[in-house]
Chain A
Amino acid sequence: MNGIEKDTQPPLEAERTILHPELAAPPDESPVKNGRRLQHAEGASHPIHPPPEREPQPRGARIRGNHRVDQTEAAERFIASPAHEKMHDERLWDLRGKRDRQMHSIPEWEELRTLASAIKEHTLTHLDQYLEQFEQNARANGVHVHWAKDGEEHNRIVHGVLRDHGAKTLIKSKSMLTEECGFRPYMAAAGIEVIETDLGERIQQLDNEDPSHVVVPAVHKLRGDVAQVFAAHLGTDPMDDDVHHLAEAQRQATRPLILNAQAGMTGCNFAIAETGGITVCTNEGNADLSANVPNLHIASIGIEKVIPRLEHLAVFVRLLSRSALGSPITQYTSHIRGPRAGGEMHMVLVDNGRSARLEQDKFWTSLKCIRCGACMNTCPVYRRSGGLSYGATYSGPIGLIIDPSFNRHKYSALPFSSSLNGSCSNVCPVKINIHEQIAAWRQVMAENHELTLIKKAAMKAAGVLLAHPVLYRAAITSADSALNNLPRFAIYIRLNAWGRHREVPHAPRESFHSWYKRNRSVP
Chain B
Amino acid sequence: MRVGLFVPCYVDAFHPDVGIATLELLERFGIEVEYPFNQTCCGQPMTNSGCHAESAATEALFVQNFERFDYIVGPSGSCVHHVRSNFDSIEQTDIVRKVRANTYELVEFLHDVLKVEAFPWAEFPHRVAYHNNCNALRGIGHASMSELRVEPFSKPLDLLRKVRGIEVVQLARPDECCGFGGTFSVFAEGISSKMGHDKVRDEMQSGAEYVVSADSSCMMHQQGCAERAGLPMKYIHIAQVLNGASS
Contact = CB atoms under 8 A, between A and B. Distances in A.
Interface of A: 72, 75-76, 79, 85, 89, 93, 100, 103-104, 106-107, 109-110, 378, 380-381, 384-385, 415-423, 425-427, 439, 441-447, 451, 455-456, 459-460, 462-469, 472, 476, 479, 482, 486-487, 489-490, 493-494, 497-498, 500-508, 510-513, 515-517, 520, 523
Contact of A417 (B19, B147, B185, B188): B188
Nearest to B13: A482
Contacts of A426: 138, 145, 147-148
17 contacts: A85-B194, A380-B177, A381-B195, A384-B195, A418-B181, A419-B179, A446-B52, A459-B54, A462-B45, A463-B58, A466-B46, A476-B13, A498-B189, A500-B190, A502-B221, A503-B227, A508-B14
Interface string B20-58: 100100000000001101111101011111111111011
A75 B134 contact: no
B225 A422 contact: no
Contacts of B47: 439
Contacts of A425: 138
Contacts of A479: 13-14
Interface stretch (B3-11, B94-102, B156-164, B205-213): B3-11
A487 B186 contact: yes
Which 5 residue pairs are nearest across A and B when measured between Cβ atoms? Answer: A419-B181, A442-B50, A502-B224, A463-B54, A467-B57
Interface string B52-78: 111101101100000000000000000
Interface string B155-199: 000000000000000000101110111111111111111111110
Contacts of A107: 149
A505 B223 contact: yes
B38 to A, nearest CB: 4
A420 B193 contact: no
Chain A contact surface mostly: helix
Contacts of A467: 40, 57-58, 60-61
B139 interface: yes
A72 to B, nearest CB: 5
Residue picked from B57, B187, B197, most chain A C-beta under 10 Å = B187
A21 B10 CA distance: 49
A463 B41 CA distance: 10
B35 A520 contact: yes
B224 A512 contact: no
Contacts of A511: 12-13, 16
Given A385-B191, A444-B50, A459-B51, A466 B41 contact: yes
B98 to A, nearest CB: 21
Contact of B57 (A416, A427, A463, A493): A463
Contacts of A385: 191
Interface string B209-236: 0000000000011011101100000000
Contacts of B112: none
Contacts of A75: 188, 190-191
